[in-house]
Amino acid sequence: MRGWIGLAIIAGVVYYFATETDKLDKPINDIKSMFTKADNKLDSMTGTKIIKIDKHIPQVKSEIRERLSTQESRELDRVFASNESITEFKTQYCNSSARHSVFSKENLQFICDKI
């Protein structure tokens, strides 16, 4: 019984430090970082990397290109250069108040609707 009381006190102290203070934030982040590094190391050792191929993008790009000017078409090629650039474009320009220096407001909305 005495062991259970000691264990309960220790658990209570750990719970307090984890929820009410920032004393355990650094050790927790260190452990998360260690697991992330181990996961990355395992991925690099196995040589496998999951790459999502979106077959929808070329079709969407041709649909969008039909209504663009030459300058807008060149800018579209920059946007569709990689999945990361598409994601960045969506984050930056696909909201209600966004403006783009090359795309017209209507074409920007059309692009955002398609991607």
Amino acid at 112: C
Which pLDDT band holds residue 26 (cuts at 50, 70, 90)?
Answer: confident
Q: What confidence score (pLDDT) does residue 51 get?
A: 58
pLDDT at 53: 56
Task: Give the chain's mean pLDDT.
Answer: 81
What's the pLDDT score for residue 32? Answer: 86
Q: Regarding predicted confidence, which is higher, 112 or 47?
A: 112
pTM as predicted = 0.48
Quote the pLDDT of residue 104: 86
Identify the CA nearest to 78 among candidates 51, 45, 110, 111: 111
23 pLDDT higher than 60: yes
Q: What burial class does residue 57 get, using C-beta atoms within 10 Å of its C-beta: 0-12 exposed, 13-18 middle, 19+ buried?
A: middle
Name which of 1-10, 48-57, 96-105 the model is least confident about: 48-57
**Where do we find the tokens 């579209």?**
76
- Which residues are within 8 A (CB) of 2 and not within 5 positions of it... i.e. 6 or more apart? none
For residues 77 and 65, the answer to whether their CB atoms sit within 8 Å is: no
Would you say residue 48 has pLDDT above 80? no
- Cβ atoms 64, 114 nearer than 8 A: yes
* Residue carrying structure tokens 């992330």: 36
